[in-house]
Amino acid sequence: MEGQPEIVTQALDYAQQGWDIARTWLMSPAAWSQFGLLLVAYLAALLVSRRLRPVLTKLLTPPEGQESLIATARRFVLLFVPLVLPLLAYVFTGIGESVTRSLFGSGAVIAFGKRLFLFLAARILVKEIIRDPFLKLLGRYVLVPVMAIYAVGLLDDLTTKLSETVIRLGNISFSVMALVRGVIAGAVLFWLGRWSNNQSTAFIQSQEEMPPATRTLAQKAAEVAIFGAAFLLLMNIMGISLTSLAVLGGAIGVGIGFGLQQIASNFISGVILLLEGQATVGDYVELDGGEAGTIVKMTARATILETYDGRWIVVPNEHFITTRVVNYSDSGSANRYEASFSVSYDTDINKVPGIIEKAVGDLDFVLAGGKDGERDPDCELRGFGESGVDFAVEFWVNGIDDGRNKFTPRVLFAVWNALMAHDIEIPYPRRVIEMRSADSDEA
3-state secondary structure of 5: coil
Cα–Cα distances (Å) from 25 to 12, 20, 93, 264, 356, in that order, read 20, 9, 17, 67, 102
pLDDT tens for the 443 residues of the chain, in order: 555 555 556 555 656 566 566 656 555 555 666 677 778 888 888 898 888 888 888 888 888 777 777 888 888 888 888 888 888 888 888 776 666 666 555 666 777 788 888 888 889 888 888 888 888 888 888 888 888 888 887 788 788 887 787 777 666 666 778 778 878 888 888 888 888 888 888 887 777 777 666 677 777 778 778 887 887 777 777 666 666 556 666 666 666 566 567 777 777 787 777 777 677 787 888 888 778 888 888 877 788 888 877 888 888 888 888 888 888 765 456 788 899 999 999 899 999 999 999 999 999 888 887 776 678 899 999 999 888 999 999 999 887 777 666 789 999 999 999 999 999 998 887 777 777 776 655 55
**Fold annotation for 334-421:** Alpha-Beta Plaits (3.30.70)
- In 3D space, the residue among 184, 166, 163 whose CA is nearest the CA of residue 174 turns out to be 166
pLDDT in tens, 194-237: 888 888 888 877 777 776 666 777 777 787 788 878 877 777 77
CA distance 347 to 418: 14
Q: By the 8 A CB rule, do 282 and 212 touch?
A: yes
Residue 297 phi, psi (nearest 5): -160, 140
The per-residue pLDDT for 384 is 92
Cα–Cα distances (Å) from 311 to 285, 292, 296, in that order, read 15, 11, 11
Give the residue extent of every domain in the chain: 6-164, 178-262, 279-327, 334-421
The per-residue pLDDT for 331 is 47
CA distance 388 to 9: 104
CA distance 130 to 340: 63
∠ CA 262-266-272, nearest 5°, is 145
Q: By the 8 A CB rule, do 306 and 293 touch?
A: yes
CA distance 92 to 213: 57
∠ CA 45-48-51, nearest 5°, is 145
pLDDT in tens, 316-355: 888 888 888 888 765 456 788 899 999 999 899 999 999 9
Burial class (CB in 10 A: 0-12, 13-18, 19+), 86: buried
pTM of the model: 0.51
CA distance 433 to 423: 29
Q: By the 8 A CB rule, do 135 and 142 touch?
A: no
Instruction: Decide which of 3.40.50.10420, 3.40.50.620, 2.30.30.60, 1.10.10.10 is the CATH code for 279-327.
Output: 2.30.30.60
The per-residue pLDDT for 301 is 79
The per-residue pLDDT for 357 is 92
